[in-house]
Amino acid sequence: MTERLRPIHDAVARMVAEEIAPLDAEYLAEVDVGNRWAFTPRQTEILEGLKARARTAGLWNFWKTFADGPGLSTVEYAYLAEEMGKSHLAAEVFNCNAPDTGNMEVFARYGDAAMQARWLEPLMAGEIRSAYLMTEPAVASSDATNIAMSCRRDGDCYVLNGEKWWATGAGDPRCAVYIVMVRTGGGEAPKHGRHSMIVVPADTPGIETLRAMEVYGHDDAPHGHMHIRFAEVRVAAENMLLGEGRGFEIAQGRLGPGRIHHCMRAIGQAERALALMCGRAQTRDAFGKPLAALGANHDIIADARMKIEMARLLCLKAAWMMDRGDARAAAPWISQIKVVAPEVALEVTDQAVQMFGAQGISQDTPLARQWTHLRTLRLADGPDAVHRRQVARHELRRQAGG
């Protein structure tokens, strides 16, 4: 960790541990009060109060690692993302939450001045939220070349028809804008030149929210993962990002850093699970002994520590590769961490659940909610099998001298 990062890291870690994480449970309990898809006064008080303190302290928008941002490298930001992973609310408190970070990066890198004024500025101020719509129910979206939402030009507009689901954050009443992956090219276009990204205001006529998708029985209100239908949705032609056929180019610029952020937050969750596991092992007795002295619990704790360290180092290597500026060279490293980090964090969390017994699957610890998030992360931004395929293909080419 660099000397310039140390005071920032310590301030973030201290705020997460002392101010944010202690309020997670109270915030989440408020979801069942009144309308699940609206913020209660207490939720607003908690979240906006924490955000104001973070912004006043200068702990804000760390994700912006390119030229006019706070000047942090991807490696430096990774350490902060790990700390944010230790709390449900922390990423949003520092305005470093998904999918907004990826969408803000798209607006900053690829949006025109009008888009940046209308969408990027309020996103960076934490005043609105956004969603990224790619996955579709009718096609295997892990192969993004299958994306089929129709987007046809009609005069000075594009017309969108189709369905998207798992639109994370689209249920949030503050969600004001979508970035949507659409198909604009036919079979005559190159395979990776048939898709585009277009900016769609969330209140555009013809958009219908069909339902909230549940993750292991939970709808994650008021944030949500929505199933959305577009029926003859007309969007101004100038909302097309970069131009038709450049969707994959934008996606690669968006997904690489985002995957690193997800993985480092997963490391933070693993650290939290290990801390809870150790506390439980030392303070809970069974059969006349502390749990730490029973069975293979020493081995379980030791294995957790070693696997977390290995996963963290692999994440930092991927972040370092990203900082070198060659996205193609970084890609196989990002695929490696996308498999390893959620897998390790999930294993450690599962062992912590086991140590807590029945309490571990209840609302009395963060472990059950954390487990469902980590298991879901093994599918989000590409399932394990897709990333393993990419790693293997790269290794086979490398070994063959290609």
- CATH at 69: 1.10.540.10
User: Is the separation of the CB atoms in 59 and 90 below 8 Å?
Assistant: no
Q: What is the mean pLDDT of residues 2-8?
A: 91
- Residue 364 inside a domain? The answer is yes
- Residue 123 inside a domain? The answer is no
Q: What is the mean pLDDT of residues 270-280?
A: 98
Residue 163 has a pLDDT of: 98
CA distance 48 to 96: 14
Residue 252 has a pLDDT of: 78
- Residue 120 inside a domain? The answer is no
237 and 253 housed in the same domain: no
Residue 385 has a pLDDT of: 96
139 and 196 housed in the same domain: yes
User: Is the separation of the CB atoms in 301 and 278 below 8 Å?
Assistant: yes
* CB burial readout 262-289, b (16+ within 10 A) else e: bbbbbbbbbbbbbebbbebbeeeeeeee
Is the pLDDT reported for residue 101 higher than 90? yes
pLDDT tens digits, 111-169: 999 999 999 999 999 999 999 999 999 999 999 999 999 999 999 999 999 999 999 99
Burial class (CB in 10 A: 0-12, 13-18, 19+), 159: middle
Residue 14 has a pLDDT of: 98
Residue 108 has a pLDDT of: 92
Is the pLDDT reported for residue 68 higher than 70? no
Domain count, the chain: 3
User: Is the separation of the CB atoms in 158 and 145 below 8 Å?
Assistant: no
259 and 360 housed in the same domain: yes
Is the pLDDT reported for residue 321 higher than 80? yes
Residue 9 has a pLDDT of: 96
pLDDT tens digits, 218-265: 999 999 999 999 999 999 999 999 999 999 999 877 767 788 999 999
284 and 303 housed in the same domain: yes
198 and 290 housed in the same domain: no
30 and 136 housed in the same domain: no
- Residue 369 inside a domain? The answer is yes
CA distance 148 to 181: 9
Question: 10 Å Cβ neighbour count for 19?
Answer: 17
Q: Residue 342 belongs to a domain with what CATH number?
A: 1.20.140.10
- Residue 169 inside a domain? The answer is yes
255 and 286 housed in the same domain: yes
Q: What is the mean pLDDT of residues 358-380?
A: 96
Q: Which of 200, 220, 241 is the last residue of a domain?
A: 241
Residue 66 has a pLDDT of: 52
65 and 157 housed in the same domain: no
User: Is the separation of the CB atoms in 368 and 361 below 8 Å?
Assistant: yes
- Residue 140 inside a domain? The answer is yes
pTM more than 0.85: yes
Q: Please, which pLDDT band fits residue 65 given cuts at 50, 70 and 90?
A: low
For residue 182, the cross-strand partners are: 196
Question: 10 Å Cβ neighbour count for 296?
Answer: 9
133 and 275 housed in the same domain: no
Q: Which of 206, 224, 241 is the last residue of a domain?
A: 241
Strands 150-154 and 129-133: unpaired
Contacts of 228 (CB under 8 A, 6+ apart): 133, 163, 164, 165, 167, 170, 207, 208, 209, 210
H or E element at residue 157: strand 157-168
Residue 402 has a pLDDT of: 67
CA proximity to 368, closest of 386, 382, 381, 354: 354
Residue 94 has a pLDDT of: 97
Q: Which of 208, 241, 274 is the last residue of a domain?
A: 241
Is the pLDDT reported for residue 287 higher than 80? yes
Is the pLDDT reported for residue 67 higher than 60? no
189 and 266 housed in the same domain: no
Torsion, CA 59, CA 61, CA 62, CA 63, rounded to 10: 160
- Token pair 């928008």: residue: 61
- Residue 29 inside a domain? The answer is yes
The percentage of the chain sitting over the pLDDT mark of 70, rounded to a whole number, equals: 98
Is the pLDDT reported for residue 342 higher than 60? yes
Average pLDDT, the chain: 94
Residue 187 has a pLDDT of: 80
Q: What is the mean pLDDT of residues 16-44?
A: 94
CA distance 114 to 241: 12
Q: Please, which pLDDT band fits residue 3 given cuts at 50, 70 and 90?
A: confident
Q: Residue 208 belongs to a domain with what CATH number?
A: 2.40.110.10
Q: Which domain holds residue 344?
A: 248-399
Length of the chain: 402
177 and 290 housed in the same domain: no
Q: Is the peptide bond before 290 cis (omega within 30 degrees of 0)?
A: no
Could you tell me how far CA 271 lies from the centroid of its own chain? Answer: 18
- Residue 122 inside a domain? The answer is no
Q: Please, which pLDDT band fits residue 205 given cuts at 50, 70 and 90?
A: very high
Q: What is the mean pLDDT of residues 35-62?
A: 95
Token pair for 117:
């004024």
285 and 338 housed in the same domain: yes
